[in-house]
Amino acid sequence: MWATTHPPCSNSDNITLAAYNLPFSAINIPSRDGVIYRGFFVPGSLNATIIFPPTYSSGRSEGLRQMAIMAKHGYNIVNFESRVCTRKGMISLGYREVDDVGDVLAYLKQNPDHLPLKLDHIGIYGFSSAGATATMAAARYPELAALISEGGYHNTDELYGLGEPSGFLQAITFAEMQLAYRIDTGEDPANLSPINAIPKIVPRPILFIYGALEQSLPGARLQLAAARAADPNTSAELWVVHDANHGGYLRIVGDEEYARHVLPFLDCSLLAAHCDEYHALWNTPAPFF
């Protein structure tokens, strides 16, 4: 557990959005803990912004292909590095990282001249542990108007691979893992529960993206059900990508098909544009369901 919460920074600053022929600037985002997060800002032609929190221990060059698809469509993009790439020293697998999203929102509000953004048109995208972070952040910060969560866990048991213990020794092991997390992070492992955050997000729109071969797909279905139970009229959808495992969605479908699903969702959710296209997509059978 200590190794899980204290990974090395997997930074890769040798790759930037210049590889996608996009203009960008390096930014420094101050945190409430007094450290600085390095990030990228991509100016867009639309009055809407997508925040990309980092996955696990990644640097600011993770997820560039997804950023490029949204940026080329006109969205402003803001991303930042994992807390272990600063001197914070550890990660909590999603829960404390919600504070980091709050720091980004504060930065955007305090820099209107440097970043000419409309702060009521902000979406958040996260993959894996960042999908959990994005979900819990959307529940905490109402200014996040739309959520895309890819491949995130839905609760602690799924994250740790814990099911019903098959015996006494396994029950002890599960309890030790949860205690170790509490000791390492100072947080209750029960906080790692994106599914409990879902009712606080709706009726804001949510798009879940998971692979058909993904272990966490049942949890995605539970999250979708939780959103629809909380508000039957909410715009919550699940895109299951055929033949994809964890993280392989864009590689399987390609940029064009990925954009066909994601961009109308963002346009309708943040700009009230292309809503007919978005609703037609989800009401019509698609080849990747």
- In sign, the C-alpha dihedral spanning 4, 5, 8, 10 is positive
Q: pLDDT tens digits, residue range 133-179?
A: 999 999 999 999 999 999 988 876 655 555 555 566 666 766 777 77
Average pLDDT score over the chain: 85
> Among the listed ranges 123-127, 128-132, 171-175, 217-221, which one has the minimum average pLDDT value?
171-175
**What is the rounded radius of gyration, in angstroms, for the C-alpha atoms of the chain?**
18
Q: How confident is the model at residue 47 (pLDDT cuts 50, 70, 90)?
A: confident
How many angstroms separate the CA atoms of 35 and 49, rounded? 24
Q: pLDDT tens digits, residue range 54-113?
A: 988 888 888 899 999 999 999 999 999 988 888 777 787 767 889 999 999 999 888 766
Contact predicate 234/227, CB 8 Å: yes
Domains of the chain: 2-283 (3.40.50.1820)
Q: Which residue(s) pair with 42 in the sheet?
A: 77
The residue assigned the tokens 């292309």 is 274
